[in-house]
């Protein structure tokens, strides 16, 4: 059971890293962080297409990561 959880955790971790790296950047650099950060945060820009799919996969993988990590800590 311990080896299975560790293997699943490694697979989910690698998949999470890959999915996060595939997502497009949502920041405009340092100037966007200083001047227009609030505009982007509260704006009505919604993710569509591939960005939406990658965002949902990221949420699912991160939740799975936390569940696996907590269950592995509980078993140990």
- More confident site: 47 or 7: 7
Residue 35 exposed, middle or buried by CB count within 10 Å (0-12, 13-18, 19+): exposed
pLDDT tens digits, 11-53: 999 999 999 999 987 765 555 556 555 555 555 556 678 889 9
**What pTM, to 2 d.p., does this model score?**
0.73
Pairwise CA distance, residues 56 & 19, whole Å: 10
Q: For residues 58 and 23, is the Cβ–Cβ distance under 8 A?
A: yes
């Amino acid at each position: 059971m311990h080896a299975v959880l560790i293997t699943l955790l490694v697979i989910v971790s690698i998949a999470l890293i890959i999915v996060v790296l595939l997502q497009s950047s949502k920041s405009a650099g340092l100037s966007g962080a200083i001047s227009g950060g609030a505009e982007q945060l509260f704006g009505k820009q919604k993710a569509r297409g591939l960005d939406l799919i990658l965002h949902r996969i990221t949420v699912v993988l991160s939740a799975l990561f936390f569940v696996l990590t907590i269950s592995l800590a509980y078993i140990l």
